[in-house]
Chain A
Amino acid sequence: MALRLLFLGKLADLAGVGERVLDLSAPLGWDALLDRLEPDLASALGGAKVRVAQNADMVADKTALIAADGDEIAFLPPVSGG
């Protein structure tokens, strides 16, 4: 079982890549997902301005996320503007 993580904008610099695949043995909640990542990346993803999309649907409350096998989870920092 696996999960696809997408890091948009400057989060890609922090993650070192734009995309990562995470193996999982059971669905992951938000805290368990962050625990699988480097502390500085996890702390950036937890920031109030970073939004999350699960399979291209915006997640209203990312802390309630349950990521399951085959999901694509995108981390979206604020857009750049003009």
Chain B
Amino acid sequence: MKDVRLLSAPFDPNTEIEPFARACPEAGGIATFVGKVRPGGGVEALELSHYEPLTRPGMEALADRALARWELMGLLVLHRTGPLHPGEPIVLVSAASRHRRDAIEAVDFVMDHLKAEAWFWKREKRADGWHWIEPREADHADLARWK
């Protein structure tokens, strides 16, 4: 079971996780990561732009790689676009498997690749205006873990 979505409106992780869990009744465990706009640090808002014809297929392909690499019964990948406020969920990745390590590693893998490779551009609003967020070295180090 694969469910990959780009969302332009706020979502509630809890109302997504429950139906996902129900759709994977044979699972022995479910691992979930929810990423939020980090509160504080002077950031008033975050805006995510994307390019639909590349961003969506890229997320689908990433989910397929995780499904091929680990024994999963289900994989849920949700990613926000548009304007977000501090504390709001940006991303949710949930994996269901027979044994815990498959689910935990798959979520970690999908998150590292979403961060470093998925076609999203982010800018944050501070008191002095909007600033684009540049790539970080750490993102590439994170990817190297999976080679």
Report which A residues bind B (CB closer than 8 A).
6, 8-10, 12-13, 18, 53, 56, 58, 74, 76-82
Contacts and interface: CB of A to CB of B under 8 A. Distances in A.
Contact of A80 (B53, B54, B120): B120
A19 B78 CA distance: 26
B54 A81 contact: no
A80 B132 contact: yes
Contacts of B117: 79
B67 interface: no
Interface of B: 49, 51, 53-54, 57, 115-123, 132-136, 138-139
A82 B51 contact: no
Question: Chain A: interface secondary structure?
Answer: loop
A6 B119 CA distance: 14
Contacts of A6: 51
A81 B133 contact: yes
Given A6-B51, A80-B121, 11 more contacts: A18-B49, A53-B53, A53-B54, A56-B54, A76-B51, A78-B135, A79-B117, A80-B120, A80-B134, A81-B136, A82-B138
